[in-house]
Structure 1
Amino acid sequence: MAMAAPTPSASCCLVGPVPFNDVVGAEDDDRITPPEGYGHIISTLPTIGILGRFVHHQYQGAWLLHERIPGVLSFQRRFSPRPGDVLLTSPPKCGTTWLKAMAFATMGRAAYPPTAADHPLRRLNPHECVPFIDDLFSAGHDAKLEALPSPRLLSTHMQHSLLPASLAENPNAKIVYICRFSGFILPSTSRAC
């Protein structure tokens, strides 16, 4: 049974983040042309092919898929953080979905009590509640971020070195990072007494 999503006008009075799909709509897929004008930068980057089909470029010390570079460049140049924004960061396959669900439930606790039958996480995937900000910029949908009321809860797989200066150098920026420990132990050359 599908639950009705709150309207954007009703969400203006909520405390906490509003699910991204409730504001912009899942069917609101009016594709905007992805960011252009970065071809000259991309063509100068070191390039490797992985498995003969995945082209990666090295940009600011990180290897990124060719398709991701325009979004990263656009994000770095055009993102304007708001007070109260929270950015969830993680490498792929390190608990991103879990982190999104936990952060959304925690930040939205006042607006969406955990036992509420209409809780957004009961009807939406955490990725539909908390967007990947670099995906929005890659697809040219960065204007949709402005539709989100504050505080915005956003996510990325970008490393800290690739974040825009408006976030990385902002002492008021709220960045939550999760990673997975690989379990290997480096050999020690000295022993603690």
Structure 2
Amino acid sequence: MEASKFFSRMEEFEPDEGYQKTYRSFDEVLPSLPPSKGWWLDQLFHYQGFWLSTFALRGSMLLNDHFKPRPTDIIVATSPKCGTTWLRALVFSIVNRHSFDFSDHPLSKMNPQELVFFLEGAIYIDGSTSFIDGLPSPRLLSTHLPYSLVPKSMTDDTSDCRFVYICRDPKDVFISKWHFANKLRAKDLPPIALEEAFDSFCKGASHYGPFWDHVLGYWKASLESPKKVLFLKYEDVKKQPSDCVRKVAEFLEVPFSPEEESKEIVEEIVKLCSFENMSNQEVNKNATRNSGRPISNSDFFRKGEVGDWVNHLSPQMAEALDQITEQKLQGTGFNFR
């Protein structure tokens, strides 16, 4: 089933006792969680150290209670607005490079989110894990969940599924997230002010935040389990995209052969998945939304640049974010440079 059709409808799902138990747990826990104002339609709730919407929270609980991972599962993991769409496209192209011709590729007809399914979103809308369970292996999936909220059945030593994670300079993340939020806000709501969003972001109260804790969770996991978690930086991928493509292929144990290198398949993938190419596909110029999926394909493409924050943040704001970043990363061995 195409994702566009899937997300445009709500399944008629009659939950069994197991699912009913999860729904009851969700109903019981929600009123006890500290709330914060959401950036667009909903509130955020503080759950196990992170701020989640009701959408993400219920999806997370269903995922933890009912999702059955497979050893061949590949998970594209990101904090929002860190290059999710780009990484989905790259991973899909790398894994499926023998199945499609570049002159007639699925990415020229479909948005990457229709090819790499959003785990907690699909489970939330479906009401169960049945849709994800029915996908053929290897399943290419995506999540915004912090590593600590991913089911232990996916992250412990007995699981062979793999995570490809990408992070980005927090100043660019904030600006991208602010623009995205204002695209999604209801027409009758005023835009969220830069200063208001900035204050929330600095306090960690943004979707799937605090941002720094999200990044460090996957960073530490990549150090402890380098065969399970590949950690990438957006800026490095922009600078050396071909090297990144090779690194992802090696990590997923589908390295490029000498023949593929001679045919410049790596360069073909980089070109296919570039911001310029994807944003100019007709499918990604589509600004139509529907009730099941209130985000249009065009909403996922703005600039894709490194350092665009300088056009929006005051020097004082940039310095404040840099100070938070320095404090959060102190002693971790990680930096965004």
Which runs of structure 2 are paired with 1:102-121 in the superposition (5 Å)? 102-113=90-101, 115-117=102-104, 119-121=105-107
Deviation at 1:53? Answer: 6.3
CA offsets, 1:122-146, max 9 Å, x none?
1111011111000011111521112
Kindly indicate whether the alpha-carbon contact (under 8 Å) linking 1:32 and 1:141 is maintained by their aligned counterparts in 2.
no
Query: Which residue in 1 is equivalent to 2:163?
Result: 175
- TM-score of the superposition, structure 1-length normalised? 0.75
Q: How does 1:17-166 map to 2 (within 5 A)?
A: 21=2, 26-28=4-6, 29-32=9-12, 36-37=23-24, 38-50=26-38, 54-113=42-101, 115-117=102-104, 119-139=105-125, 140=127, 142-166=129-153
Range that drifts further, 30-39 or 92-101: 30-39
- Partner SS, residue 155 of structure 1: strand
The one-letter amino acid paired with 2:29 is I
**CA distance 1:52–1:84, shift in 2 (3 Å):** closer
Query: TM-score scaled to structure 2, two decimals?
Result: 0.44
Distance across 1 between alignment mates of 2:124 and 2:85: 20
For 2:163 and 2:154, how far apart are their aligned partners in 1? 8
State whether residues 31 and 141 of structure 1, in contact with CA within 8 Å, keep that contact through their aligned partners in structure 2.
Answer: no
Change (3 A) 1:142 1:32: farther
Give 5+ residue unaligned stretches, structure 2: 172-321, 331-337
- Considering Cα pairs closer than 8 Å and 6+ residues apart, tell me whether 1 or 2 has the greater RCO: 1
Structure 2 CA distance for partners of 1:32 and 1:68, relative to 1, 3 Å: farther
Q: Which amino acid aligns with 2:109?
A: R
SS at structure 1 position matched to 2:170: coil
Q: Deviations over 1:46-74 (max 9, x none)?
A: 22234796311111111111232111111
Stretch of structure 1 that moved more, 96-105 or 42-51: 42-51
Q: CA deviation at 1:174?
A: 0.3
Name the CA distance, whole Å, in 2 between partners of 1:51 and 1:112. 39
Q: Distance in 1 between the 2:124 and 2:39 partners?
A: 23
Amino acid at match of 1:128: E
Q: Distance in 2 between matches of 1:94 and 1:72?
A: 20
| SS of residue in 2 equivalent to 1:93 | coil
- Distance (whole Å) between structure 1 residues aligned to residue 163 and residue 151 of structure 2: 12
Instruction: Note the C-alpha offset of 1:30.
Output: 4.7
In 2, distance between residues paired with 1:148 and 1:44? 35
* C-alpha distance 52-97 of structure 1, shift in aligned 2 (>3 A): closer
How far apart are the structure 1 equivalents of 2:69 and 2:110?
25
Identity value in percent: 32
Gap change, CA 1:72 and 1:51, over 3 Å in 2? closer
Distance 1:149 1:181 in 2: 35
* Larger mean Cα displacement after TM superposition, 48-57 or 125-134: 48-57
Relative to structure 1, is the Cα distance of residues 53 and 96 closer, same or farther in structure 2, using a 3 angstrom cutoff?
closer
Q: CA RMSD in A?
A: 2.6
Give the secondary-structure state (helix, strand or coil) at the position aligned to 2:69. Answer: coil
Distance, in Å, in 2 between the alignment partners of 1:141 and 1:112 is 31
Cα distance between partner residues in 1 of 2:39 and 2:83: 26
Partner amino acid, structure 1, of 2:50? A
Report the number of matched residues: 164
